[in-house]
Amino acid sequence: MVNELKVALIQSNLVWEHPEQNRINFSEKINALNDNVDLIVLPEMFTSGFTMNAESVAETMDGVSLHWLQDLAVQNTTAITGSLVIKEQDKYYNRLVFVHPDGQIDCYDKRHTFTLANEHKTYTAGTKTLVVNYKGWTIKPLICYDLRFPVWARNIEDYDLLLYVANWPKIRIDAWDALLKSRAIENMSYCIGVNRVGLDGNAYEYSGHSGAYDVLGNRLDTIPSGTACTEVVTLQKAHISKYREKLGFLNDRDTFTLE
């Protein structure tokens, strides 16, 4: 177990429906990291942008992008996470993969498909949450629109870090900022969100606003909006235990059953 977790947030533009070029771009960003980090976070659909043209960009779990991620994770002795389009048994998924430094992979399929963009008509929604155990840290990764549904994120597992990868457009970015901070406060956990920047193939604009918050909702990063950049934040186990023991808010949480 490590008491500190160094996390690299990569806020980047994405080349529309061009997995090969996106892999090249992210390889450069990852290999340029000066710090030895424990976890690298990429945006939602980092190989393609948020496209409903799933057939043109979909890969399998034995595809090029997964092997590329595994190679990068092993070479850099770090975990890497983000989501991409996966085809499995004739269905398409917006699937988050958490690739460990030894190449092992944990998966989460986006539960709340974005109906406003008809994502539900292309992608099959997931039914299960994922909790990743990594270096003594308990991490719950979710995807974009999931942020609007606090019950799905509720900290019933005593996780340490709630993690969102996203393509969240500029027009609704105030909601992104407010909800990321709220999820940290109500769950007494670190909360990190990594969003993209730039224009996508549908001319939607993305302004980033990637961020990291502590258990009290304090902002930990200095990531500027609107520009591609990478920042490393350091999370501390002592911070979590101090305020959970002092305040005890999670002791009063409700019990419930999800359907």
Catalytic positions are: 44, 110, 144
Quickly count: other Cβ atoms within 10 Å of residue 82's Cβ.
25
Backbone torsions φ then ψ of 94, nearest 5 degrees: -90, 95
Element (H, E) at 249: none
Of 5, 6, 15, 65, nearest to 230 by C-alpha is 6
Of 182, 237, 202, nearest to 1 by C-alpha is 237
Q: Is the dihedral of CA 242, 246, 247, 250 positive or negative?
A: positive
> Residue type at 9?
L
Backbone torsions φ then ψ of 254, nearest 5 degrees: -80, 155
Looking up tokens 């690299």, which residue turns up?
A: 8
Structure letter (DSSP) for residue 45: T
- Show the tokens assigned to 250: 């999670």
Alpha helices of 105-216 — where are they, by DSSP H? 119-122, 150-153, 173-187
